[in-house]
Homo-oligomer: A and B are copies of this chain.
């Protein structure tokens, strides 16, 4: 077996320790005589796994009991619809910041359910920065204010969260949840598709301040209704049981790395390794305005699309895979989520220098 360094943007690399434990327990979890995949979600054995996973997430993110933690399905894209159906009052309005492809998609989907205002956009700059936010443009009566804390495709990140006063901040954190310390109390709702920093695809985390429950529209499908799902402990219907178990194994690994506080330092170091190579080079171009650089998704180009393709191919030959940029922007993207070891990033940094020398 020869494991590669997988720089995919999601689904993406997972901790090897979690995968090893999953493989070992696949036919017999903890003497139960069955796989976690085969367990009734109503069994005590499974409820224990579920409860432990929720407790770990609360511990890692310091989530107080004033927030409900939900393990749902449908991905962030499902939440694009769920958010207005759970929060937008009849005749109400919400503010959105258009900082990238998924932020834009969230806004378009929300418009199906009510009055959605775009308070800032960096679309005309091809999303190379988080747009400047003018507080005077915020609607103080908005039902919520929507942001995307990290933009996976373009490789940008909010250096600080907007101040929205009494308007609840709703954040898609799919690509940087658990990667750095956030004060959860700043958010009305924080949510994430699991497949980047949490666990496997098919699981969606929604962390919602309890005072925001009870507002869901009558047209909201039950499986998307945060109030119903809170009452049912995420088990109105069968949850994605195995994905939750895997997320728990990944969180145990994260805790052993010193938790979010510990991994944040590693992530800073990892991203610095790559940005240092980019900044020292006149061969590579890093399009993102430095103040908004993502720590999770490092985007860059070589002098030509042909060289970009040659880079991706040659890197794969050295076990550095899935480095092709998103089709919307081209170029190269190195996604270096929590589970990417620093050794993999070092190897990529060395490869970048070598490739530059050979192709300048």
Residues of A within 8 A of B (CB): 1-4, 6, 8-14, 16, 19-20, 22-24, 26-28, 32-35, 37-41, 43, 73-78, 80-82, 85, 109, 112-113, 193, 195, 200-203, 218-219, 221-224, 236-243, 246, 319, 321-322
Contacts and interface: CB of A to CB of B under 8 A. Distances in A.
Given A2-B28, A14-B38, A73-B74, 8 more contacts: A2-B33, A10-B238, A26-B26, A75-B238, A77-B222, A112-B219, A221-B224, A243-B243
Which of A8, A16, A33, A237 has the largest count of B CB atoms less than 10 A from its CB? A237
Given A19-B27, A203-B202, A219-B219, A11 B241 contact: yes
Given A23-B26, A219-B112, A237 B75 contact: yes
Given A73-B75, A78-B74, A319-B33, A39 B238 contact: no
A222 B84 CA distance: 13
B27 A238 contact: no
Nearest to A326: B42
Given A112-B219, A242-B201, A35 B8 contact: no
Contacts of A203: 202
Contacts of A219: 112-113, 219
A90 to B, nearest CB: 14
Given A27-B19, A27-B20, A38-B12, A221 B221 contact: yes
A43 B239 CA distance: 27
Contacts of A4: 32-34
A40 B27 contact: no
A223 B77 contact: yes
A17 B241 CA distance: 20
A82 B221 contact: yes
A39 to B, nearest CB: 6
A18 B280 CA distance: 50
Contacts of A22: 26
Q: Which 7 pairs between the two chains have the least Cβ-Cβ distance?
A: A202-B240, A81-B221, A4-B33, A23-B26, A77-B237, A73-B73, A8-B40
A242 B202 contact: yes
A325 to B, nearest CB: 12
24 contacts: A3-B27, A3-B34, A9-B40, A10-B40, A11-B37, A13-B34, A13-B38, A19-B37, A23-B27, A33-B321, A37-B201, A78-B221, A78-B237, A81-B221, A82-B221, A113-B219, A193-B238, A200-B242, A201-B238, A201-B241, A202-B242, A219-B219, A242-B242, A242-B243
Contacts of A112: 218-219
Q: Which among A9, A75, A76, A236 has the greatest number of chain B C-beta atoms within 10 A?
A: A75
A246 B77 CA distance: 23
Contact of A8 (B2, B9, B39): B39
A74 B73 CA distance: 5
A43 B322 contact: yes
A195 B238 contact: yes
Contacts of A218: 112
A82 B73 CA distance: 14
Nearest to A218: B112
A236 B77 CA distance: 8
A1 B19 contact: no
A98 B222 CA distance: 19
